[in-house]
Amino acid sequence: MPIIYMTGHGDVPLAVQAMEKGAVTFLEKPFEESALESALARAFAPRADAAPQAAPCPEFQRRLAGLTVRETQVMQGVVDGKISKVIARDLNISSKTVELHRGRVLAKMQAESAIHLTRMVVEQRVL
The tens-digit pLDDT sequence of the chain (127 residues) is 778 878 887 777 777 777 777 788 888 888 888 888 888 888 777 665 555 555 668 899 999 999 999 999 999 999 888 899 999 999 999 999 999 999 999 999 999 888 888 888 888 876 6
Question: E strands within the chain?
Answer: 4-7, 25-28
| Residue type for position 69 | V
- For the entire predicted model, the pTM comes to 0.58
* pLDDT recorded at residue 47: 64
* pLDDT recorded at residue 49: 54
Residue pair 75/127 in contact by the 8 Å Cβ criterion: yes
* pLDDT recorded at residue 4: 82
Closest-CA residue to 43 (of 61, 31, 58, 25): 25
* pLDDT recorded at residue 88: 96
* pLDDT recorded at residue 64: 93
User: For the purposes of burial, counting CB atoms within 10 Å of the CB of 95, is it exposed (0-12), middle (13-18) or buried (19 or more)?
Assistant: middle
End-to-end distance of the chain based on CA atoms, in angstroms? 17
* pLDDT recorded at residue 55: 64
Q: Check residue 110 and give left, alpha or beta (phi > 0: left; psi -120 to 50: alpha).
A: left
R_g over Cα of the chain:
18
Residue pair 125/53 in contact by the 8 Å Cβ criterion: yes
**Domains contained in the chain, CATH given:** 4-43 (no CATH), 58-124 (1.10.10.10)
